[in-house]
Chains A and B, each alone.
Chain A
Amino acid sequence: MRSSVIAVFLLLCLVSASASAESWRALTPEQREALAPLVQQWDTLPEKQRLRLLETAKHYSQLTPEKKQRYHDRLEKWSKLTPEQREAARKKYRAFKKVPTEKREQVKQMVMEEQAKKTQQQASGIPTASVIDQK
């Protein structure tokens, strides 16, 4: 009886321990490398968000250098979105993945062209509307 109660207690401890988000200083070097762009605001982020970001950081080491760069470039903006905005983005992304590959490539091509045009115009000092603003 006593051993069973102890086992249940340990299980509960394990469950609660696995759900605690750590402070920046307590992160592993790998986690810090992955989440480097968030060093300033990490400790101020809500616990739930920190836990989710730690989950994403687990995939960082398996990314290609190009994807690692994208991950770092977008991480700060992503963390500043509201939970609702992030959820909406996930829904859009899921929906976009269901679009036939051919059409998806067309959209990608269009967005890339728009981006290139925008970068070019920004370089020459002409203000322009973004792809998103036009949507």
Chain B
Amino acid sequence: MITKLNPGKIAQLLTQSTRQLDADTLSALVAARQNALKKQSVRAPVFELSTGRQTHSLIPDSAQQWVVAGLFVAMLIVGTSFWHHVQEQQLSELDVAILTDDLPIEVFVD
């Protein structure tokens, strides 16, 4: 015997039968649902980049990323240049010391 049931009728029957379940079965179902939800949350990504892309390329593809990359390169250049300047300054101080020392330059030159 095939009875035609619409979705509304099915929902009504399910609600009716749920009301007939005893407390133990209901709490077991609640526990199983909580357990399933916990497992699902573990599978969800813990950390995600703001781009939301699955794969990340090294080449920036947005204006914001280009700005960040540009600033990084600029900072690198300025940093290297500053370090070089400090090195040169130390070297020049040493040269002045040699050029003005009590001892003649010949003592240090081969």
Q: Which residues of A contact B (CB under 8 A)?
A: 1, 4-5, 7-8, 11-12, 15, 18-19, 51-52, 55-56, 58-59, 63, 67, 70-71, 74-75, 77-78, 81, 85-86, 88-90, 92-94, 96, 107-108, 111-112, 115, 130-132
Residues of B within 8 A of A (CB): 63, 66-67, 70-71, 73-74, 77-78, 81, 85, 88-89, 91-110
User: Which residue of chain B has the shortest Cβ distance to A133 in the bound complex?
Assistant: B106
A74 contact from B74, B99, B110, Cβ within 8 A: B99
A77-B103 contact, Cβ under 8 Å, with A4-B71, A90-B94: no
Q: Is the CB of B108 within 8 A of A71?
A: no
Q: Cα distance A92–B104 when bound, in Å? A: 13
Cβ–Cβ contact A89 & B78, under 8 A? no
Q: Do the beta carbons of B73 and A8 come within 8 Å of each other?
A: yes
CB distance from B83 to the nearest CB of A (A): 12
Q: Name the distance in Å between A78's Cβ and chain B's nearest Cβ.
A: 6
